[in-house]
Structure formats: structure tokens, C-alpha cells
Amino acid sequence: MTSNKYTKAPVYVAGLGVISAIGSNVAECLDALEHERPGMGEIDTLDTLHRKQFPVAGVKAGNEELAASLGVPPGVSRTALLSLIAAKEALASSGLEGRSSWRIGMVSANTVGGMDKTEHFFKSFLEDPKKGRLKDVVGHECGSITEWVADRLGIHAYTTTINTACSSSANALYFAARLIRHGILDVVLAGGTDALTKFTLNGFNTLMILDKEYCIPFDEDRRGLNLGEGAGYTVLVSQQVADSLQKAPVCRLTGFCNRNDAYHQTASSPDGKGSYLAMQGALESGGLQPSDIDYINLHGTGTQNNDLAEGTAIQRLFDPRYPKMSSTKSFTGHTLGASGGIEAVFSALSVQRDLIYPNLRFRTPMKELPFTPETRLIKNIPVKHVLSNSFGFGGNCSSLIFSKL
């Protein structure tokens, strides 16, 4: 890769915010991760035929409760509420508050925007095109979710939204980091959000990749994924901003890469070509060797196809010295457009606190792979570099690397 002023400037992670099925903030999520408490359970926020059929990892609060905690009127899309909660935490933890002179932007991601509300609207609309509350589709567009949150946070310098399916929020971090390197922005709130919807639940059900039990990523007997919901944000800052902060940043974002599998609209290539290229590219952009990676936060959805493709790509890149690995989707389920953001938060915490999370319920190694994920929390071994993978429909494969200060 060409090296120039745009590819070298350091990017720091100054703040973190997360909400998911295992907790409404960083502390709660960390506690659940450390104490092996997964977030799956019966579907309770959706009125669906599949309620008893598929466990999901839902955030344990209704819309009214979420809206009240934020002091916003009810009726807003859950996707936006989750986003605002995590985004606020991230900004608050960054030590930036009160410094409005920086050019602050927001790059967010989600996959189905305000679909939770559109579902209600469409039911009436189908009966009569004059029916349905327009208020319910105001936030249908992916971009309007970001805009609503940015407006609440007073972020106007630059906002945008990315949707590359399940790799969306990894790309949001990547794009945000580049905006900083190019000197376009000083601070970027970057991450993603997605709420459970009937649309995605049924969609993944038609693909027959939903697990009827709690998912077991990277296990020989894996049966599919559990859907989850949540939001995860990082506050990325430039060197100049980092230097001005009252407290040390969390870590650095040192490597990133976006590649396409160009194999199939929904399936990964058997050899995980796109995943391999993304991981390799991320290492290269960070000037790192495979042996520098201490932990991989896997995409690890628990589907036959993803885990085999991802595992094969890891084997090709890392053999014979494998870093420790796990899929935290065994806690949070697959939060789609939020997963890259949530896992970026978990990865940053891993680097900051020397934590390696367990891959819950793992029992049987995959017969195709020579390695296994970690099954217990590991503390106190140095974690210098963490690779976080996010892969999605449409062959989108992105990898990020978080590094110790």
C-alpha cells in the first residue's frame, strides 16, 4: 500500500458506549462478559409467530422505558433510541465534553433503519394506502436514524450512514478514521445500531440460518445464529485531540481493511477469500504481522457457512501460530448493523484491560479447523493487538485492528 500523509496519521479511540442484551452500558456488558452471562431469551418486544421458536438477544427494556431514560418523546424508532443511548455514553466517556471547538462528526451504521415502525405502518397501509400513521415512516430511512441522533447530540459538521449489511459499523469506524486522517474532522462518533424487527427475524428465517437454541459459534455442531439488538459507538479522535484530553485514550485504531468476497449475494466463498483479504489488508495497513495479533474477536455468527469460511481464512493467514479467539455473538447474538460497533467496543476494552472473552457453549472443534476458540475468560495476559472481523451479505468483509497505546 502506498504510504502518504493520509495513511499514517494516528487515530485514537477516546470513548466507548454500548447497549446490548447483556447490558445497557460498558460496565454492565463487561460484567456479563466476565461472568459468562449470555443475553438470549424469549422474544418479548416483537409480536411474532416465531416468539417461542427462536431465542433472541434483545435489550431488556421497552421503547417507553428507553425513551424516558433519554428524555425524548415515545414513538421514536427503537433503532434510534438504542443508538442515542450508546452514542451518549461514548461521548461522555471520551472526556471531550465542553470542547465544542473541534470539528465533530458522526458516522453511523444500521441495516433496516426504522423498520420496527415501518412494520406497523405497512399493515394499515396495505389495507388502504391512505391509512397508516405517517409519523411511523418518518424514520424509515437508515440515514434518518443517524440524523435524529446527531441532531440530539448537536453534531452538524459532518454526518453520514453506511449500510453494508452485517459489516456496516466496522466500515463506519473505518470511514471515520479516514476522515480524521484526511483532516476533514477532528472527532468522529463512529459505530452502529440495529433493533430487532419482524423483517429481519423473518428474513433470516427464510434463509434457514436461525438457531432454535442458543448459538454455538465455531462449534462442529453449530446450527445457526441468534438475532440480537443493540448499539455500539466509539469516539475516534486525531492526535491533536488526543493530546488535549484530560485522560488517556482507550487505545488506537491502527489497522483496517474492506474487501469483497465477490462470490455470492449471501454466502461466503468456501475458502473465505474476502475474509482473508480483509484480515491481511488490515494487518498490512497497520504495519503488523499475523504473529502480532493476540486476540481475534471473530465475526463468528454460528452459521455453517460463515464460521467455516472465516475459519479457513484464519487458518490460511495464521497457521501455525494462532492467536486466541472468540465470538462474543455467543453473548449478544448477531446484532447485524450494530455488531461491528459493539464488537469494536469489546475489542477496545480487550486491548485496554487485557481481557480475552470466552466463546460460550463451545464443545466440539470443527473437523475442518486445527484451532478452537477460548472457552473461559482470560485475564492478565498482555493483549497488544486485537483483530475484529465483520462480514456481511453482498460479500462485504471488513477487519479492524485495535492496539495498545
Candidates 144, 137, 143, 87; CA nearest to 115 is 137
Q: What length does the chain have?
A: 405
What single letter denotes the amino acid at residue 401?
I
Q: What residues form DSSP beta bridges with 396?
A: 260
When binding is defined by CB under 8 A, the residue of 116, 303, 392, 401 that contacts other proteins is 392
Annotated active-site residue 334? The verdict is yes
When binding is defined by CB under 8 A, the residue of 13, 84, 87, 162 that contacts other proteins is 162
Euclidean distance between CA atoms 141 and 143, whole angstroms: 5
Q: How far is the CB of 378 from other proteins (least distance, A)?
A: 34
In the chain the first and final C-alpha atoms are separated, in Å, by 24
Euclidean distance between CA atoms 340 and 273, whole angstroms: 20
Does 182 bind other proteins (CB under 8 A)? Our answer is: yes
Which residues make Cβ contacts (< 8 Å) with residue 225, sequence separation at least 6? 204, 209, 210, 211, 215, 301, 302, 303, 329, 333, 334
Does 169 bind other proteins (CB under 8 A)? Our answer is: no
Give the residue with the Cβ less far from other proteins, 159 or 350: 159
Instruction: Tell me if 352 sits within 8 A of 241, measured CB to CB.
Output: no
* Residue position matching grid coordinates 465477490: 262
When binding is defined by CB under 8 A, the residue of 63, 94, 161, 350 that contacts other proteins is 161
Does 153 bind other proteins (CB under 8 A)? Our answer is: no
Backbone angles phi, psi at 80, to 5 degrees: -70, -40
User: DSSP letter string over 168-215?
Assistant: HHHHHHHHHHHHHHTTS-SEEEEEEEE---HHHHHHHHHTT-B-SS--
Q: How far is the CB of 321 from other proteins (least distance, A)?
A: 26
Give the residue with the Cβ less far from other proteins, 93 or 238: 238
Q: How far is the CB of 274 from other proteins (least distance, A)?
A: 6
The residue from 29, 166, 251, 257 that is catalytic is 166
When binding is defined by CB under 8 A, the residue of 123, 353, 363, 379 that contacts other proteins is 123
The residues in 248-307 that bind other proteins, with binding defined as CB under 8 A, are 258-266, 273-274, 277
Q: Please identify, among the stretches 17-25, 114-122, 244-252, 340-348, the one whose residues bind other proteins according to the rule CB under 8 A.
A: 114-122
Does 199 bind other proteins (CB under 8 A)? Our answer is: yes
CA distances from 206 to 67, 203, 247, 305 (A): 32, 5, 48, 15
Q: Please identify, among the stretches 10-18, 204-212, 316-324, 340-348, the one whose residues bind other proteins according to the rule CB under 8 A.
A: 204-212
When binding is defined by CB under 8 A, the residue of 122, 220, 371, 372 that contacts other proteins is 122
When binding is defined by CB under 8 A, the residue of 102, 158, 322, 371 that contacts other proteins is 158
Candidates 257, 251, 275; CA nearest to 386 is 251
Instruction: Tell me if 115 sits within 8 A of 346, measured CB to CB.
Output: no
The residues in 32-71 that bind other proteins, with binding defined as CB under 8 A, are 48-50
Euclidean distance between CA atoms 355 and 293, whole angstroms: 14
Euclidean distance between CA atoms 211 and 227, whole angstroms: 9
Q: How far is the CB of 86 from other proteins (least distance, A)?
A: 19
Q: How far is the CB of 165 from other proteins (least distance, A)?
A: 5
The residue from 140, 251, 257, 334 that is catalytic is 334
The residue from 215, 299, 385, 397 that is catalytic is 299
Q: Is 316 helix (H, G, I), strand (E, B) or coil?
A: helix
What is the chain's Cα-based Rg?
Answer: 20
Does 119 bind other proteins (CB under 8 A)? Our answer is: yes
Q: Which x/- pattern over 64-103 shows residues binding other proteins (rule: CB under 8 A)? A: ----------------------------------------
Annotated active-site residue 140? The verdict is no
Give the residue with the Cβ less far from other proteins, 46 or 70: 46
> What is the CB neighbour count within 10 angstroms for residue 9?
15
Active site residues: 166, 299, 334
Interface residues with other proteins (CB under 8 A)? 1-2, 4, 6-7, 48-50, 111, 113, 118-119, 122-123, 125-126, 129-130, 134, 137, 141-144, 146-147, 156, 158-165, 171, 175, 178-179, 182, 184, 198-199, 202-203, 205-207, 258-266, 273-274, 277, 392-396
